[in-house]
Structures are given as C-alpha cells and as structure tokens.
Amino acid sequence: MIVNADLHIHSRFAGATSNKMTIENIAFAAPRKGIHLMGTGDCLHGGWMKEIKACSPLDDGTFELHGTRFILTTEVEDQRRVHHLVLFPSISAVEEFKERVTSKSKNLEQDGRPNINLNGEELAALSKDVDALIGPCHAFTPWTALYAYYDSLKDCYGDLTDYVSFVELGLSADSDYADTIEELHRLTFLTNSDCHSPHPIRLAREFTRFDVTDATFDDIKKAILRVGGNKPVLNVGLPPQEGKYNETACIKCYTHYTLEEAQRRRWKCSCGKRIKKGVKDRIHERATFSEPHHPDHRPPYVHLIPLAEIITKAIGLRTPFTQTVTRRWAELIEAFGNEITVLLDTPLEDIAPVTAPAIAEAVQAFREGRVIIQPGGGGAYGTIELPEEEKSPFMPARPKDKQTSLVEY
C-alpha cells in the first residue's frame, strides 16, 4: 500500500508553535492534506504524551485518531545545538529514553523540543538501546544542523554512524543537492514539514511517500531501512530555492552574497549584521561530485508548494491566511478529497470546472515547472512568481479580504 507520511512536526508544547497544534486538530487536518501517517513530534513531553495516549493504539508503536495514524517521534537538540529526529517503537521505549536523559536536560517538561546535554554519538547509542531510529534533522541549514557544525556524519555520530539510517533534507535542500555528497548515498532521505501550525500551508508542506504493507511503525522502519520489500517511493517538497536558507545572505537585511564575497567581508554585511552561509554553498563545500549521483534506491523528488500558496499567487493576494484563499482551497478539497490529489493526480481538465481559471492555470504552471523563483536566504523565504506576473516579491492584499493569522487557524 502507498502511504504519505509527515514524520516531523511539533505540538503546542514546543516553542514558537501555534496553540492549535492539538492531536485533534492534527488528526482532522492530515487527511485533508492527503497524509495517512503523522509523526507525533514532542513525545518526550509529558503533557503531549497524555494527548497521544488518548488515541487508539493499533500496536505498541502505532496510534489512530479519526482515521489518522501516528507514530511516536521527537526532535531533540544536542550539546552542540545539532537537531536529531528520533522515531520510537513504543511508549515504553519513549519512557526508557526519557528516564535516561532526564538528568541531562533542564527543559524536558518545558519544551517539546528539549535540549539534551549529550553529543550525537551518545544520543545514537541511547536510540539504539531502545530500538529507536535516529538521524539528523534539516541536515544542511546554517542553524542547528549537522553540517552547520560538522564536516561529516562520522564527526557527529562517531562509532554509531552506521546505525544512522536516514537524513532529513529540510526545506532548503532536495535529493539533487544531497546526492552530491557520497557519504549520504546509503541513507534514506526523508522530507518532512517540521510544521508549527496545522494550517494547510504548513502541515505536510513536505512529505515522504512509502510503499509498505501497512501504515505502522514497524513497516515505516522497514521502509526507511529498505528491507522486506518496503521502501520510500517519492520525496515531495518545496523547491529548495524557496527555503529560508538556500543562499548565503545577511540575517537582517537579507542581502545575498556569493560565498567568496561573504568570506572577503569576513561574514559581516554592509548593514553591520552577520552574513549566514546558505545551504547551497555549504553543500558545495562538502560535495564529492559536481553533479548529483543518485544511488539506485533513491526515489524521485517532486517539487511542490502548498495548494494555498498556489491559490494566493493565482488570485493576486499577498498572504494565504485569508478567507478568500481558505474558501477556494476548501472548494478543491471538497471536490477531490485532499490537497495531494489536487496537486499530483487530478487531471487539469477536471480541476478547471470547479475553481477559478487562474487557479487551474497556476496548478498547471507548477506541474510543468514554469515558475520563477527568487531564492531565499538569511532567514527569509524565497518568492515564487507565476510566469505572467511581474517580477515583484510582494503583492498587495485586497483591502476587503479579511486577514486570518496563523494562530487563529
């Protein structure tokens, strides 16, 4: 069976996260996006675990609520600020892991994404002891990522490097970027949203499609390890240029620099603030090959942006958080079942009769790659324009269109 999975999210117990990130809201939002399986995120947090336990257990490591399935996951920050994604086989494994790191963390019950005073190798050893999977989150971003602080997997995970089975690419990278680095060829690539809100522009903005026997932890583990016929068959994510850290840029004014210019300026922008190295330049530094060399097991990577963002561009609004965009999005979901079906599978001639012509044309433009991307950097997302638009990074919102905030969703 084919399963669409988003395995890295956060609950309302994590910092800078919408209070709408409840297990109920996630269970409701996931099928409308076309996601069958969610990672719980934040499962070391006691308050969030109470909500997880309200779901129906299907086996030791798989839970269900309103038809949406969940497996136990968390993101942790190590003593070097590197973030790791951990996938647990059971609640008892979570409890054992938590007990063993309690003395190493000051915020285990204060933040869904805790800081743990251990290094990558020690965290991998603990994960192995409880049969959990571990790998680096958003591995290339200039903050809190493996390649921000280390030059290789071995530098981070030491003698446990071979136990690491996956790497999460993050919003500013894709398979073409990552497969220029030879040490990553054996690993499964995960694309996840790392979302902090259940809004459809955040949840499952990136996801991984697996071919598995069932949507359970055991089968997802086999798919990540690529054993027993289970495997990933598709990575779906933003064009890497849209990511916030794709190019080297100032963290305040977002002026972009070449790597050579940044080095010459000693990483200080003309505005006086710091220049941050972009994912593209960091990967180029670590690359083994000048062009991507995809191993035989690597699935295709499809570049998509959320349907709400496409609608926003098509009808000339500045933000997707409006009643107009929500109404247009809901029309398409009601007609075709979920967002992924609209973006990937529905014939364009079927989309046109149920929405504005400009929206159908925009979906077609994205499918055909006929869009213009101004890359992001320094913490500012890139901008995407449709072919017929003028090259402007901003579009004014319609005066009568009420704005709805992320937290209000």
Half-sphere exposure of 70 (CA within 13 A, CB side): 31
In whole angstroms, give the CA distance from residue 295 to residue 175. Answer: 11
Q: What is the pLDDT of residue 210?
A: 98
In whole angstroms, give the CA distance from residue 38 to residue 35. Answer: 7
| Alpha helix positions (H), 150-291 | 153-157, 175-178, 217-225, 259-264, 279-286
Strands 231-237 and 83-88, sheet pairing: unpaired
Tens-digit pLDDT profile for residues 370-403: 999 999 999 999 999 998 653 333 333 333 333 3
Q: What is the pLDDT of residue 393?
A: 36
In whole angstroms, give the CA distance from residue 124 to residue 384. Answer: 38
DSSP designation for 44: T
Residue length of the chain: 409
DSSP designation for 236: E
Half-sphere exposure of 113 (CA within 13 A, CB side): 23
Grade residue 354 by pLDDT with cuts at 50, 70 and 90: very high
* CA 178 vs CA 21, 157, 187, 338: distances in Å: 31, 18, 10, 30
Strands 383-385 and 372-374, sheet pairing: antiparallel
pLDDT exceeds 60 at position 191? yes
Of 196, 246, 241, nearest in space to 405 by CA: 196
- 3.40.50.10800, 3.50.50.60, 3.40.190.100, 3.20.20.140: CATH of 2-241: 3.20.20.140
Q: What is the pLDDT of residue 242?
A: 95
Tens-digit pLDDT profile for residues 241-280: 999 999 999 999 999 999 999 999 999 999 999 999 999 9
pLDDT exceeds 60 at position 230? yes
Lowest-confidence region among 74-83, 95-104, 399-408: 399-408
Residue-wise burial string across 151-172, b where 16 or more C-beta atoms lie within 10 A, e elsewhere: eebeebbeebbeebbbbbbbbb
Strands 83-88 and 68-77, sheet pairing: antiparallel
Amino acid code (one letter) for 171: L
Q: Please check whether residue 377 is in contact with residue 142, taking contact to mean a CB–CB distance below 8 angstroms.
A: no
Q: Please check whether residue 29 is in contact with residue 41, taking contact to mean a CB–CB distance below 8 angstroms.
A: no
User: If you average pLDDT over every residue of the chain, what do you get?
Assistant: 94
N-terminal to C-terminal alpha carbon distance within the chain = 32
pTM of the predicted structure, to 2 decimals: 0.94
pLDDT exceeds 70 at position 407? no
Q: What is the pLDDT of residue 284?
A: 97
Tokens of 380: 């500012």
In whole angstroms, give the CA distance from residue 228 to residue 230. Answer: 5
Compute, in degrees rounded to 10, the torsion defined by CA atoms 223, 226, 227, 233: 60
Domain ranges in the chain with CATH number 3.20.20.140: 2-241
Q: Please check whether residue 82 is in contact with residue 144, taking contact to mean a CB–CB distance below 8 angstroms.
A: yes
Q: What is the pLDDT of residue 387?
A: 86
Q: Please check whether residue 327 is in contact with residue 306, taking contact to mean a CB–CB distance below 8 angstroms.
A: no
388 vs 163, higher pLDDT:
163
Q: Please check whether residue 306 is in contact with residue 242, taking contact to mean a CB–CB distance below 8 angstroms.
A: no
